[in-house]
């Protein structure tokens, strides 16, 4: 009788903790690539569909927090309202394209030293709230495979900064720059500047969204 009573109490405790468990809240924090990620066919939407297919929708809550044109200092300035106020468990930082791209397209951008300092400040502020932080390298500004994209040098340099920050801050890295280069080497024999994983050299096409969704899934969903 005593054994049955203990078993019943244990079972009730297990049921209570199971039903009260909250899903892991993941925020994807970035620019227009992430802003588009929550639309139909976007990489975040695809991940949500994958969760549903696998019966895991109660385990993860995926939130997009992307704004077009954002650079690293924009993320720093809106972090309180768009991220910290939502109490996430995980934040995926996916930024850097505009910091490089806008140097040529708008005459602005972000100098490398300022990029590193703002990026470090974002990481520190998130980690102080015990949030797990994952870093992504910027994927592409042009898909040519012969190193003739105008800003290949800069995007590689900024990607190296992010890789170093990941090491220095013990953050997981989603190396989309490396992954995109490898994919294009195999799938872009005509050396096109777009149309493989992007629609305009930067923003993802359908194949690119699926590709990024799979890479994010491998890093985020445990």
204 strand-pairing partners: 198
How high is the pLDDT of residue 36? 98
CA–CA distances in Å: residue 184 to residues 31, 57, 180, 188, 190 = 23, 33, 6, 5, 10
Report all structural domains of the chain as residue ranges with CATH numbers, in order of start: 24-220 (3.40.50.1110)
Q: Cβ contacts of residue 88 below 8 Å, gap of 6+?
A: 25, 26, 27, 63, 131
Question: Do 219 and 132 touch, CB atoms closer than 8 A?
Answer: no
Tens-digit pLDDT string for the chain (222 aa): 444 444 444 444 444 444 458 999 999 999 999 999 999 999 999 999 999 999 999 999 999 999 999 999 999 999 999 999 999 999 999 999 999 999 887 888 999 999 999 999 999 999 999 999 999 999 999 999 999 999 999 999 999 999 999 999 999 999 999 999 999 999 999 999 999 999 999 999 999 999 999 999 999 998
CB atoms within 10 A of CB 197: 24
Question: Do 141 and 155 touch, CB atoms closer than 8 A?
Answer: yes
How high is the pLDDT of residue 20? 52
């Amino acid at each position: 009788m005593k054994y049955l009573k203990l078993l019943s109490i244990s079972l009730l405790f297990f049921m209570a903790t199971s039903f009260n468990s909250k899903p892991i809240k993941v925020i994807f924090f970035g620019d227009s690539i992430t802003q588009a990620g929550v639309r139909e066919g976007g990489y975040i939407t695809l991940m949500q569909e994958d969760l549903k297919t696998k019966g895991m929708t109660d385990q993860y809550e995926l939130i997009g927090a992307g704004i077009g044109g954002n650079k690293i200092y924009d993320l720093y300035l809106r972090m309180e309202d768009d991220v910290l106020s939502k109490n996430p468990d995980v934040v995926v930082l996916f930024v850097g394209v505009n910091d490089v791209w806008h140097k040529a397209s708008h005459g602005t951008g972000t100098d490398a030293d300022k990029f590193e300092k703002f990026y470090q400040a974002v990481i520190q502020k998130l980690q102080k709230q015990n949030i797990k932080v994952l870093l992504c390298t910027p994927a592409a500004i042009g898909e040519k495979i012969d190193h003739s994209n105008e800003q290949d040098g800069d995007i590689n340099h900024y990607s190296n900064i992010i890789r170093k920050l990941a090491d220095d801050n013990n953050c997981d890295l989603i190396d989309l720059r490396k992954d995109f280069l490898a994919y294009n080497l195999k799938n872009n024999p005509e050396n096109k500047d777009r149309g493989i994983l992007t629609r305009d050299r930067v923003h993802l096409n359908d194949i690119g969204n699926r590709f990024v969704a799979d890479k994010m899934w491998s890093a985020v969903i445990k």
